[in-house]
Amino acid sequence: MREPTPRQGPVPRLFDSLTEDQYGEFRGQGITVKLASGSYLFQQGDPVDRFYAVTRGRLKLFKLNEEGREVIIRYIEPGEITAAITVLKDAVYPVTAEAVGETAVLAWTKTSLSALMRANSDIAIKLLNIAFERLNDIQQRYLELCTEQVDQRIARTLLRLMQGAGKKTDGGIEIDIPLTRQNIADYSGTTLHTVSRTLSAWDKNGWVKSGRRRITITNPHELVMFTEGSAESRFS
Amino acid sequence: MREPTPRQGPVPRLFDSLTEDQYGEFRGQGITVKLASGSYLFQQGDPVDRFYAVTRGRLKLFKLNEEGREVIIRYIEPGEITAAITVLKDAVYPVTAEAVGETAVLAWTKTSLSALMRANSDIAIKLLNIAFERLNDIQQRYLELCTEQVDQRIARTLLRLMQGAGKKTDGGIEIDIPLTRQNIADYSGTTLHTVSRTLSAWDKNGWVKSGRRRITITNPHELVMFTEGSAESRFS
DNA sequence: CGCTCTATTGATAAACCTCAAATACAGTGG
DNA sequence: CCACTGTATTTGAGGTTTATCAATAGAGCG
């Protein structure tokens, strides 16, 4: 009995505990927003007003420092949510959300989510779970940034992107996001030049194939070995 | 009408929404654990079984990488909680918690916290708030680690420690935690040598006074300016 | 007073960034 | 189909930051 609105994407994991009726009703309260590639859903410093679930495309969440350098916090894939802090308090978004490719999101107001939380206590638990997962992820990456060399971090970045947006092709697993060298640098904590050099080396190695805004991981296993292997197996 | 158990420290902010009776009852279900300085409350990889609030002293939360390098995630001060993920699922601790100085914590079981959450729905909200705060904090530090130079990060580390554990003295604000240069390095993402050199310079500057395991910030204002000032005002 | 842990400081080296220039690529409009 | 344009990528050279290595000095403790 879902489908009071036409199906527009995966059901966000947040709503796993809802019945189809409950989800249908809640979904009906949300507004679909279509975003052109590169447009901002919200920006760092804006007052928080909505809570979002991505249904198509993806969002890049990033922070800018004072000098305008961009650091990518994470990509929000279809079925994932963002800006959940909306429910809790008046705040400002701590990050900017930019659409990567043609993207659609569902947007709900503060009040609508609060009502849902009151009606279904599992939602708060689920939100808490998601928050802890993200805390874990960023803490792990913080560790890596502190202790690992740049090529190891780039390898990890590719594997993470593969995890979230990998598409099996005959040549390997393609990362289904148009990514520039700069984007990968912003995700790995380095510069586009270093990323370019590293990918070139791995291209020759046969670990990845990459072109303009396109990366295919041809040998995920070696890449994993490289992230684990503590520096002895640096490529020659 | 609190005090079914003797008062042993501040009421954790998590419990703000409880009445004194409710808090008293819940507190009665917790067990006080005393920790000698340097002992571990739990370790990275242990199965999660308890949820804790610090009542005296403090906990250092850190992660170790494969080579044994330590990275400090945060300090848990009296009145703060940790290991809240306990309530949610079977997991392993993603960090190690070590007592810094003589430390006391209250420990509750999974079931006891779950019961409280069912009885008082504000607890889940409060937990969510705390999780978001910590997410924010680590994301901000992740940004800083990506974009700032080491002396700027050390300055920020000192200011953060001052915020959490600063004690006004006649000479300035003393950080009331015994910290080695290595500790500060582990919190700033650098080495003890670099920290030592930097603190020496700032000692000559008159910004801080530091000795063995002891740091006093004599000029917080200049230190703040330094974190904001984008590199032009590097000390001579 | 010797032992251990911590801190300081210098010298050296490595990793990586910055700057610069050339090249490749994908559209676009003629 | 092709030249044109803007963006993305590659690659080299050189410099800076910061880690590493090594040696010494100081502080606290039994």
A97-106 per-position pLDDT tens digit: 999 999 999 9
| Count of A-B CB contacts under 8 Å | 104
Subunit contact A139:B65, Cβ cutoff 8 A? no
Q: Is B50 left (phi over 0), alpha (psi -120 to 50) or beta?
A: beta
Those residues with Cβ within 8 angstroms of residue B103's Cβ, 6 or more apart along the chain or in another chain? B34, B35, B37, B54, B56, B57, B58, B59
The burial class, CB within 10 Å (0-12 / 13-18 / 19+), for B194 is middle
Average pLDDT value for residue range A72-86: 94
Query: Whole-number Å distance, CA A211 to C1' D12?
Result: 21
List the one residue out of B173, B183, B179 whose CA is nearest residue B217.
B173
Tokens, residue A159: 């594997």
Strand D bases within 7 angstroms of protein beta carbons? 8-13, 17-22, 26-28
Subunit contact A67:B141, Cβ cutoff 8 A? no
Please state whether beta strands A70-76 and A208-211 pair in parallel, antiparallel, or not at all (unpaired).
Answer: unpaired
Q: Choose the closest CB to B134 out of A66, A135, A145.
A: A135
List the one residue out of B38, B71, B52 whose CA is nearest residue B9.
B52
The burial class, CB within 10 Å (0-12 / 13-18 / 19+), for B104 is middle
Closest-CA distance of chain B to residue A169, Å: 33
Subunit contact B129:A95, Cβ cutoff 8 A? no
List the one residue out of B109, B88, B137 whose CA is nearest residue A94.
B137
The burial class, CB within 10 Å (0-12 / 13-18 / 19+), for A149 is exposed
pLDDT at A2 over 50: no
pLDDT at B205 over 80: yes
The pLDDT of residue B8 is 56
DSSP assignment, residue A164?
Answer: H
What is the rounded CA–CA span in Å between residue B228 and residue B154? 13
What is the rounded CA–CA span in Å between residue A224 and residue A235? 14
| Strand C at less than 7 A from CB of A211 | yes
What is the rounded CA–CA span in Å between residue B78 and residue B84? 15
| CB of B42 closer than 8 Å to CB of B96 | yes
Closest chain B residue by Cα to residue A93: B136
From chain A, the residues in CB contact with B73 under 8 A are 139, 142
Among chain B, residues having any CB pair with chain A shorter than 8 Å are: 63, 65-67, 69, 71, 73, 84-85, 87-89, 94-95, 118, 121, 124-125, 127-129, 131-132, 134-136, 138-148, 189, 228, 230
Q: Residue A168 carries which side chain, given as an amino acid letter? A: K
Q: Which residue is nearest to nucleotide C15 (CA to C1')?
A: A149
The burial class, CB within 10 Å (0-12 / 13-18 / 19+), for A236 is exposed
What is the rounded CA–CA span in Å between residue B27 and residue B174? 32
Q: Which helix (H) or strand (E) holds A83?
A: none
List the one residue out of B93, B92, B97, B94 whose CA is nearest residue B75.
B97
Start-to-end C-alpha separation, chain B: 59
What is the rounded CA–CA span in Å between residue B186 and residue B162? 16
Q: Positive or negative CA dihedral for A85, A89, A90, A92?
A: negative
From chain B, the residues in CB contact with A143 under 8 A are 63, 65, 71
Scanning the structure block, which residue is given the tokens 């945060």? B74
Q: Residue A215 carries which side chain, given as an amino acid letter? A: I
B7-61 per-position pLDDT tens digit: 456 889 999 999 999 999 999 999 999 999 999 999 999 999 999 999 999 999 9
Task: Say which nucleotide is closest to residue A194, CA to C1' distance.
Answer: C16
What pTM value is reported for the model? Answer: 0.94
The pLDDT of residue B90 is 86
The pLDDT of residue A230 is 52
Closest chain A residue by Cα to residue B87: A125
Percent of chain B with pLDDT over 90: 84
pLDDT band for position A229 (cuts 50, 70, 90)? confident
Tokens, residue B146: 């990506």
The pLDDT of residue B232 is 45
Q: Residue A186 carries which side chain, given as an amino acid letter? A: D
B15-24 per-position pLDDT tens digit: 999 999 999 9
pLDDT at B2 over 70: no
pLDDT band for position B87 (cuts 50, 70, 90)? confident
| Strand C at less than 7 A from CB of B204 | no
pLDDT at A5 over 70: no
pLDDT at A50 over 70: yes
The pLDDT of residue A8 is 56
Task: Say which nucleotide is closest to residue A192, CA to C1' distance.
Answer: D9
pLDDT at B4 over 70: no
- Three-state secondary structure string covering B117-140: HHHCCHHHHHHHHHHHHHHHHHHH
What is the rounded CA–CA span in Å between residue A54 and residue A105? 4
Q: Which helix (H) or strand (E) holds B169?
A: strand B166-169
Look at B234 and B107; give whichever has higher pLDDT: B107
Average pLDDT value for residue range B183-207: 98
Task: Say which nucleotide is closest to residue A182, CA to C1' distance.
Answer: D8
Subunit contact A94:B138, Cβ cutoff 8 A? no
What is the rounded CA–CA span in Å between residue A101 and residue A38? 7
A113-142 burial, b for 16+ CB within 10 Å, e for fewer? bbebbeebeebbbbbbbbbbebbeebbebb
DSSP assignment, residue A84?
Answer: G
B94-142 per-position pLDDT tens digit: 999 999 999 999 999 999 999 998 888 889 889 999 999 999 999 999 9
From chain B, the residues in CB contact with A142 under 8 A are 71, 73, 138, 141-142, 145
Query: Whole-number Å distance, CA A56 to C1' C26?
Result: 25
